[in-house]
């Protein structure tokens, strides 16, 4: 850490990333700007955690491909973004609450970050999500209430606004989300970006260009491995 008076922070994005797009990269940068402006935390790292093949989502490339594409996306473009393959390697689908617990154990299991005076400080872990994910948290039966209390109460969440979505109005109308509002940070998009993985997959299937929608290294990987045809 540079400033040990602040709280060390690691942010985690869970998702399919099939494929990872420039919006997936921008989400981290927007959250980083928010962290710097607030001045409470010092951001140490960001992680992509691709879901396992057990998620059974239509259009999902194999986990090995999705992990590799995430690695290629951050390899030369960032000095603080990384990929954690643990979730993708599990034989069963892992709930987001369990994934965050995994990060907490790996990062804070030995006490957290060792400071210059030899003491330790726990690292704050927060989920990074798009507005569509937070909206799904308000839909009956999609998330278990216990999991939501665990995710939002113990860890917290950065919510990146999506075009046309009023996140605060949505939080206001849902008791559980409103209860944890102090642990939620709404990240406003000043330059809107609506690139989606599903649109990229559709473009590939239709033979359209996907250049400038995602990093060239990822495009080359998709072409080499004939993904999404």
Q: Residue 77 belongs to a domain with what CATH number?
A: 3.40.50.620
Residue 150 lies in a domain: yes
CA–CA gap between residue 13 and residue 45 (Å, rounded): 11
CA–CA gap between residue 30 and residue 138 (Å, rounded): 24
Number of domains in the chain: 1
Residue 202 lies in a domain: no
Chain length of the chain? 229
Residue 133 lies in a domain: yes
pLDDT at 140: 67
pLDDT at 139: 67
Residue 227 lies in a domain: no
pLDDT at 17 over 90: yes
pLDDT at 165: 62
Strands 124-130 and 7-15: parallel
Compute how many other C-beta atoms are within 10 angstroms of the C-beta atom of residue 162.
19
Cα 228 → chain centroid: 22
CA–CA gap between residue 92 and residue 102 (Å, rounded): 15
User: What's the pLDDT tens digit per position in 68-104?
Assistant: 999 999 998 999 999 999 999 999 999 999 999 999 9
Residue 212 lies in a domain: no
Please give the residue range of the domain that contains residue 152: 7-194
Residue 43 lies in a domain: yes
User: What's the pLDDT tens digit per position in 131-167?
Assistant: 777 777 766 667 888 999 999 999 999 998 876 566 7
pLDDT at 163: 63
Instruction: Please identify which residue in the block is written with the tokens 């409103």.
Output: 178
DSSP letter at 215? Answer: -
pLDDT band at 189 (very low <50, low <70, confident <90, very high): confident
Residue 128 lies in a domain: yes
Lowest mean pLDDT among 11-25, 50-64, 118-132, 138-152: 138-152
Cα separation of the two ends of the chain: 45
Residue 137 lies in a domain: yes
Instruction: Please identify which residue in the block is written with the tokens 């060792």.
Output: 114
């Amino acid at each position: 850490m540079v400033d040990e008076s602040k709280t060390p922070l690691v942010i985690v994005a869970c998702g399919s990333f099939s494929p990872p797009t420039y919006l997936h990269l921008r989400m981290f940068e927007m959250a980083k700007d928010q962290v710097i402006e607030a001045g409470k935390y010092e951001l140490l790292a960001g992680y992509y955690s691709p879901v396992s093949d057990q998620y059974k989502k239509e259009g999902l490339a194999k986990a090995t491909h999705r992990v590799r594409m995430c690695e290629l996306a951050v390899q030369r473009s960032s000095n603080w973004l990384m990929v954690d393959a643990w979730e993708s390697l599990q034989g069963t689908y892992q709930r987001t609450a369990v994934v965050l617990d995994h990060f907490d154990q790996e990062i804070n299991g030995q006490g957290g970050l060792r400071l210059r005076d030899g003491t330790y400080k726990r690292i704050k872990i927060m989920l990074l999500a798009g507005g569509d994910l937070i909206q799904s948290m308000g839909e009956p039966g999609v998330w278990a209430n216990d999991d939501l209390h665990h995710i939002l109460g113990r860890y917290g969440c950065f919510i990146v606004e999506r075009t046309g979505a009023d996140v605060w109005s949505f939080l206001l109308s849902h008791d559980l989300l409103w209860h944890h509002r102090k642990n939620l940070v709404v990240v406003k998009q000043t330059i809107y970006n609506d690139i989606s993985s599903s649109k990229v997959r559709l473009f590939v299937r239709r033979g359209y260009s996907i250049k400038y929608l995602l990093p060239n290294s990822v495009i080359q990987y998709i072409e080499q491995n004939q993904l999404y045809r």
